[in-house]
């Protein structure tokens, strides 16, 4: 067998020499197979991944800096990219996520991973087991795109009744009227939701009905240094307080509510983990 292998190798060498000689006689310089393979490999870049396309789009849309509110055409582009995303595009297995279960007792823990973050925008994933709640919170001066990749959840959101007032309340004015924008159940077949600095449901809460995964694009991200710190709220029926004006004959107005500033809930369980999906390349 060794002798046959040796002869086969010698035949292959003679064949290659013959091909090179033939090429020289015809004035053609033969390509090296190894070099050709390297060129083919270089064409396959991470930029071809869905998350890379989203990253590059965000980089363009939010290039104006933290004060940027995307133009309608840019909103449509980002919304389309997010609408087509699947759990697999960020390294999440649908089967694995469906098997996740929250504890039978106590507060379910929420997991989040940062895909990319800079001064202008951030891309993050949140995974909520059943019954997990992201409390009512605001997004001061931010435009946020949220896409439900998997599962079903209840979303409730508000905008301030008077958007000209400051988005952050002081301790002397902890109660403020707001109008309900959303109060519905959603499934992963739904479109991407978009909220703006003063419209679209800037203050919202998520409650997972089943195991859910959400990808968020925030432009710009939260920043204590830039006075964009997160504030948490508790909502109350509008008619409950004497300085609220009841609708009609005193029946509660479901389209409005009072929002009270609260400290972060002690039972809010959030675990930051490393993002292990397709990586983005900052070019």
- CA quadruple 45, 47, 50, 55: dihedral sign: positive
Residue 37 forms part of a structural domain: no
Residue 237 forms part of a structural domain: yes
Residue 1 forms part of a structural domain: no
Are 212 and 128 in contact, with CB atoms under 8 Å apart?
yes
Task: Tell me the whole-structure pTM to 2 decimals.
Answer: 0.75
* pLDDT 10s digits, 126-170: 999 999 999 999 999 999 999 999 999 999 999 999 877 654 444
Residue 11 forms part of a structural domain: no
What is the pLDDT, as a whole number, of residue 30? 44
Higher pLDDT, 17 or 281: 281
Domain residues for 214? 53-272
Which residues, at least 6 apart from 172, have a Cβ–Cβ distance to it below 8 Å? none
The answer, yes or no, to whether residue 190 has pLDDT greater than 90, is yes
Residue 118 sits in a domain whose CATH number is 2.60.120.10
Q: What is the mean pLDDT of the chain?
A: 79
What is the pLDDT, as a whole number, of residue 38? 40
Distances (CA, A) of 192 to 75, 142, 145, 219, 281: 10, 16, 7, 15, 24
Higher pLDDT, 240 or 201: 201
In this prediction, residue 41 has a pLDDT band, given cuts at 50, 70 and 90, of: very low
Residue 253 forms part of a structural domain: yes
* pLDDT 10s digits, 147-159: 999 999 999 999 9
* pLDDT 10s digits, 224-235: 888 899 999 999
CA-CA distance, 176 to 259, in Å (whole number)?
Answer: 5
Residue 131 forms part of a structural domain: yes
Query: What's the number of domains the chain is made of?
Result: 1
Residue 185 forms part of a structural domain: yes
Residue 111 forms part of a structural domain: yes
Burial of 225 (0-12, 13-18, 19+ CB in 10 A): exposed
């Amino acid at each position: 067998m060794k002798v046959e292998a040796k002869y086969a190798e010698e035949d292959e060498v003679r064949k290659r020499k013959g091909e090179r000689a033939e090429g020289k006689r015809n004035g053609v310089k033969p390509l090296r197979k190894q070099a050709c393979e390297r060129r083919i490999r270089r064409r396959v870049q991470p930029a071809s991944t869905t998350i890379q396309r989203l990253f590059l789009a965000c980089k363009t849309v939010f290039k104006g800096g933290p004060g940027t509110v995307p133009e309608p055409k840019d909103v449509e582009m980002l919304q389309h990219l997010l609408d087509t995303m699947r759990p697999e595009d960020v390294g999440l297995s649908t089967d694995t996520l469906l098997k996740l279960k929250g504890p039978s007792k106590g507060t379910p823990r929420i997991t989040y991973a940062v895909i990319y973050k800079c001064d202008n925008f951030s891309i993050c994933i949140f995974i909520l087991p059943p019954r997990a709640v992201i409390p009512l919170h605001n997004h001061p001066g931010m435009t946020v795109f949220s896409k439900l990749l998997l599962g079903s959840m209840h979303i409730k959101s508000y905008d301030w009744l008077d958007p000209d007032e400051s988005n952050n309340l002081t301790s002397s004015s902890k109660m403020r009227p707001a109008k309900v924008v959303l109060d519905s159940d959603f499934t992963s077949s739904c479109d991407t939701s978009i909220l703006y600095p003063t419209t679209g449901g800037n203050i919202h809460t998520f409650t997972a009905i089943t195991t859910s995964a959400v990808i968020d694009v925030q432009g710009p991200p939260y920043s204590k240094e830039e006075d964009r710190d997160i504030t948490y709220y508790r909502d109350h029926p509008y008619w409950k307080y004497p300085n609220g004006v009841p609708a009609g004959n005193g029946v509660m107005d479901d389209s409005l509510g009072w929002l009270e500033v609260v400290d972060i809930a002690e039972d809010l369980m959030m675990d930051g983990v490393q993002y292990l999906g397709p990586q983005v390349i900052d070019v």
